[in-house]
Amino acid sequence: MNNIRIDLYSDTITKPTQKMREFMCGAEVGDEQQREDPTVNMLVDMVCELLDKEDAIFVPSGTMCNQIAFRVYCRPGDEIIMDHTAHTRHYEAGGPAALSGATMYPIEGRRGIFTGSQVEAAIRPAENHFPRSRVVLIEQTSNMGVYALKHHVERLTEDHENAQILARGLAEIDGITVEPVETNLVFFDVAGLGITGSAFNESLIPHGIRFSIIGEFVLRGVTHLDVSRAQIEEALDCIREVVEKIATPNPGKV
């Protein structure tokens, strides 16, 4: 994948900016376990103020954060209500069962969003034969650090604007259906092109463009710090060319 120039697979592939590297090199450090690391303490204070919380704990990953919360709130046999596409359900190695002895109840939400009435319907009756409904998991996109909180929050609008540009461009291509875009995540369906999401993605790889595959025909594009507006436009131009070739019958085939 070294030839990928416009990587829309995920924002997890972003690399630290030079300013971030300088900030890390110059960061004041200490024993975080004893709450003596001034940089971690600064991050905790900033997040508490931002989210109006009394206190916080720094952990290295979202998965660990989720699993700590489940371990605190759940006892073996409890059940966690979540959307059927939730990260915890698909990408955390069965953590609730392995670490907390809890099961997961999937709700059929739309694009990760479910309603209060769906939650009410999912809550188990207080009866010995059922697991106890204990936690409702609601996901929201967030991924920050001290430097990013201070310098990159305002530029998040650029990612959202680029996502809108990508979505509009994809929606204009016959055979591609785009879901409504709310943040920097763009979900689109290529079933109308007569090919799978995997085949669509593979056709773009030689051009240095990559999306993530979500379903048989569904892909996701994530705009982020390392993808510029010009690159979004370049990706759309390339996609149009690839789709045109897909739609053009091959005279050599019967």
pLDDT in tens, 128-153: 999 999 999 998 654 445 545 555 55
pLDDT at 250: 46
Is 164's pLDDT higher than 70? yes
Q: How many residues are present in the chain?
A: 254
β-bridge mates for residue 78, sequence order: 132
Share of the chain above pLDDT 70, in %: 90
Q: What is the pLDDT of residues 191-210, one digit of tens each?
A: 999 999 999 999 999 999 99
Residue 254 has pLDDT above 90, yes or no: no
The pTM (predicted TM-score) of the whole model is: 0.72
Structural domains of the chain ordered from first start:
6-15+154-247 (3.90.1150.10), 18-136 (3.40.640.10)
Residue 96 has pLDDT above 60, yes or no: yes
Spatial neighbors of 190 by CB under 8 A, at least 6 apart, are 175, 176, 196, 197, 200, 217, 218, 219
